[in-house]
Chain A
Amino acid sequence: MQGSTRRMGVMTDVHRRFLQLLMTHGVLEEWDVKRLQRHCYKVHDRNATVDKLEDFINNINSVLESLYIEIKRGVTEDDGRPIYALVNLATTSISKMATDFAENELDLFRKALELIIDSETGFASSTNILNLVDQLKGKKMRKKEAEQVLQKFVQNKWLIEKEGEFTLHGRAILEMEQYIRETYPDAVKICNICHSLLIQGQSCETCGIRMHLPCVAKYFQSNAEPRCPHCNDYWPHEIPEVFDPEKERESGISKSNKKSLRSRQH
Chain B
Amino acid sequence: MPAAGMPPLPQSPPEIPPQGPPKISPQGPPQSPPQSPLNSCSSPLLWTRLDEESSSEEEEDTATWQALPESESLPRYALDEKVAELVQFLLLRYQTKEPVPKAEMLTTVIKKYNDYFPMIFGKAHELIELIFGIALTEMDPDNHSYFFEDLLGLTYEGSLMDDQGMPQNCLLILILSMISIKGSCVPEEVLCEVLSAIGVCAGREHFIYGNPRKLLIIDWVQRKYLEYREVPNNAPPRYEFLWGPRAHSEASKRKVLEFLAKYHRLGDLDNTHVFSHISGR
Contact = CB atoms under 8 A, between A and B. Distances in A.
Interface of A: 1-5, 8, 10-14, 16-17, 19-21, 23-25, 28, 32, 35-36, 38-39, 42-46, 48, 63-64, 66-69, 88, 90-91, 95-96, 98-99
A43 B152 CA distance: 10
Given A36-B208, A39-B164, A48-B4, A3 B63 contact: yes
Contact of A10 (B6, B61, B83, B133): B6
B139 interface: no
B246 interface: no
B88 A99 contact: no
A99 B131 contact: no
Contact of A11 (B83, B131, B154, B208): B131
B83 A64 contact: no
Nearest to B13: A1
A39 B208 contact: yes
The 3 A-B residue pairs whose C-beta atoms are closest, nearest first, are A3-B62, A16-B133, A12-B4
Question: How large, as a class, is the contact surface on chain B?
Answer: 35 or more
A10 B131 CA distance: 10
Contacts, number: 116
A28 B63 CA distance: 35
Interface string B127-166: 1001111100000000000000011111000110111110
Nearest to B215: A24
Main secondary structure of the interface of B (DSSP, over half): loop
A17 B152 contact: yes
Given A11-B6, A16-B152, A23 B207 contact: no
B5 interface: yes
Contact of A19 (B1, B88, B132, B207): B132
Nearest to A21: B208
Interface of B: 1, 3-6, 8-9, 11, 61-64, 80-81, 83-84, 87-88, 91-96, 123, 127, 130-134, 150-154, 158-159, 161-165, 167, 207-208, 210
A4 to B, nearest CB: 8
Nearest to A7: B8
Given A5-B8, A35-B164, A99-B93, A67 B127 contact: yes
A9 to B, nearest CB: 9
